[in-house]
Amino acid sequence: MERKAELLSMFKVTKSFPGVLALDDISFELRKGEVHALVGENGAGKSTFIKILSGAHKMDTGGSICIDKKEVEIKSPSHANQLGIYTIYQEVTFIPHMSVAENVFLGSEIIENGLINHKKQIEETSRMFEEFGYPIDPTRMAADLNVAELRMINIVKALNNDVKILILDEPTTSLTDKEKNILFKNIVRLKNNGAGVIYISHRSGELKELADRATVFRNGKYVDTVEMADIKGLDDLIPLMIGKEVQNKYPKAKAPIGHEILRINKLSRNKFFDDVSFNLHSGEVVGIFGLVGCGFEEVLGSAFGVDSYDSGEVEIFHNNKMQPLRKSSTRAALDNNIAFIPRDRKTMGLLMNLSVAENVVISSYKDFSQKIVNLINSRKVQNTADDYKKKLNIKTPSVKTIVETLSGGNQQKVLLARALCSKGEVFLFNQPTAGVDVGAKIEIYEFMNKLTKAGSGIVIVSYELQEIMGMCDRIVVMCQGRVVKTVKTEETTSDEILAYAFGYKN
């Protein structure tokens, strides 16, 4: 294959934050007309890397960045744009109470006689989106749009410029196939025009489809760059990403199955789910699978008491017999040793502004307080948190560190620690590994094995069929709010489960 001309080269790039070395002596090269994948676990330094390229962070002195063989210093986001570097961040950024057109032209308004020409901006926006193949009404308020539409706005906005280097960070998150295809078409167009694309994604299918080369980062260090043609799939890169051979993505260890510990009995909630029954035994992992909107997340929420339900019963093993659980009370659930790991750890799980230790003990502060005046025994808190840090291998400088600064996988571990700390016996996991990298995923699965071995039971609700097949003893399939099938994992196949979930079989 003909070697294309070099577009960007970065040499000895280092970035340190107080207490953390986020990027350590990284070198990187991007060619013209190339899609270059950047892969690595959460916390490998990918985000810091692109923030330096996009001007959001300044790198430490000593490194160099060259574009078209000319050394440049990227001073600010707007300066990066002047150099032809445009970034689409993982987080969708927008101003909620402004129109699509205003969002698109934010920072580069069309000015005539000192005034913004709104009409022209609206027309231009219309034209841009038409050209992109994704028509949208430019006068709609950003606050009224869904995430996929907002993401497309971010993308179209960047691509409307003279782009030399495009950086995409998990661009397909929350996009439908239709939108994805539009995006990919435009990436290919850009590439054919000689631009370079840096593409970050956890989805191996996309990378296989789009990328020419892939560079692996690990713990802020450069590991290797490979031609995509030379490898079968991204799985080949996993050992490079986590630095050790992975035997099995789903290290399921069977535990002896004991008595019943949770019974969901004919549970119904208007508009969400109807007549749902299943049970859970000690030592068992039950997986609930279904498509988006099948109601399984709501079932879990009602069981834990986050939401109410209309009829039916949740029963829990207590004092040697099954007893009904008070409804819509998370306190009652916690007191009966039910632990819940919500899906969105940022908004529903963690208190992002508090420390690791506080997050671990927040649902069980009672156990850390003196009996009479209720003063918190901070030494006990500290010791317990340290304990969990060790047990779960939470990577944090200290348990006093603010949770927000940890990587996704480690944040998820903090949530697990909280569940353990509140003495859970029944664990309800909603999407336990969403947005978590491979290494941490495996650690979480191994942690589940430990729980079942100790006699706990686990319910996993997940959109990832592989995870359900890989980790569960029994599978409950839901379709449109109803349980359509309950089956032992070894007696079924992925195809069968999917057929039930889609409603082809019932």
Partner 1 sequence: MEMTQANLLTAEDNGIKARLKKIYNSTGMLLIVFVALILVMGIINPRFFTIGNSVILTRQACFLALISMGQMLVILTGGVDVSLGAIIGLCSVVSAIVAKEYGVMAGWMTPILIGLLVGVFNGFVVAIFRIDSFAVTLGSMSICNGLALIISKGLTIYNLPKGFKDLAYAKVLSVPLPVIITIAVIVLMAIILYRMRFGRYIYAVGGNPEALRLAGVNVNKVTIGLFAGAGLLTGLCAAILTSRINSGQPNLGGSLMMDSIAACVVGGVTFQGGVGKLGGVILGALFLSALSNGFDLIGVSSFVKQVIVGFIIIIAVVIDKMKK
Binding-site ranges for partner 1 (CB under 8 A)? 56, 76-78, 81, 87, 89, 93-99, 102, 106-109, 111, 114-116, 118-119, 122, 139
Q: How many CB atoms lie within 10 A of CB 8?
A: 25
**Minimum CB distance to partner 1, residue 51 (Å):** 10
Nearest partner of 452 among 474, 436, 431, judged by Cα: 474
**Minimum CB distance to partner 1, residue 85 (Å):** 12
Distance from C-alpha of 249 to C-alpha of 242, rounded to nearest angstrom:
12
Do 345 and 409 form a contact (C-beta atoms < 8 A)?
no
**Minimum CB distance to partner 1, residue 412 (Å):** 24
Q: How many CA atoms lie within 13 A of 288 on its CB side?
A: 30
For partner 1, the closer of residues 18 and 107 by Cβ is: 107
The secondary structure of 465-488, three-state, reads HHHHHHHCCEEEEEECCEEEEEEE
**Minimum CB distance to partner 1, residue 119 (Å):** 7
**Minimum CB distance to partner 1, residue 92 (Å):** 9
For partner 1, the closer of residues 126 and 329 by Cβ is: 126
Using N-to-C axis directions, what is the helix angle for 408-421 and 378-391, rounded to 10°? 120
For partner 1, the closer of residues 135 and 205 by Cβ is: 135
For partner 1, the closer of residues 76 and 494 by Cβ is: 76
For partner 1, the closer of residues 160 and 215 by Cβ is: 160
**Minimum CB distance to partner 1, residue 153 (Å):** 11
Q: Residue 177: CB partners within 8 Å, gap ≥ 6?
A: none
Q: Strand 20-31 relative to strand 6-17: parallel, antiparallel, unpaired?
A: antiparallel
For partner 1, the closer of residues 91 and 177 by Cβ is: 91
For partner 1, the closer of residues 158 and 286 by Cβ is: 158
Q: Strand 196-200 relative to strand 213-218: parallel, antiparallel, unpaired?
A: unpaired
For partner 1, the closer of residues 93 and 378 by Cβ is: 93
Residue 113 has which token pair? Answer: 């006689």
Q: Residue 113: CB partners within 8 Å, gap ≥ 6?
A: none
10 Å CB burial of residue 449 (0-12, 13-18, 19+) is middle
**Minimum CB distance to partner 1, residue 154 (Å):** 9
Q: Helix H segments across 311-437?
A: 330-335, 356-361, 378-391, 408-421
For partner 1, the closer of residues 126 and 219 by Cβ is: 126
**Minimum CB distance to partner 1, residue 98 (Å):** 7
**Minimum CB distance to partner 1, residue 139 (Å):** 5
Nearest partner of 249 among 436, 411, 388, 414, judged by Cα: 436
Do 444 and 412 form a contact (C-beta atoms < 8 A)?
yes
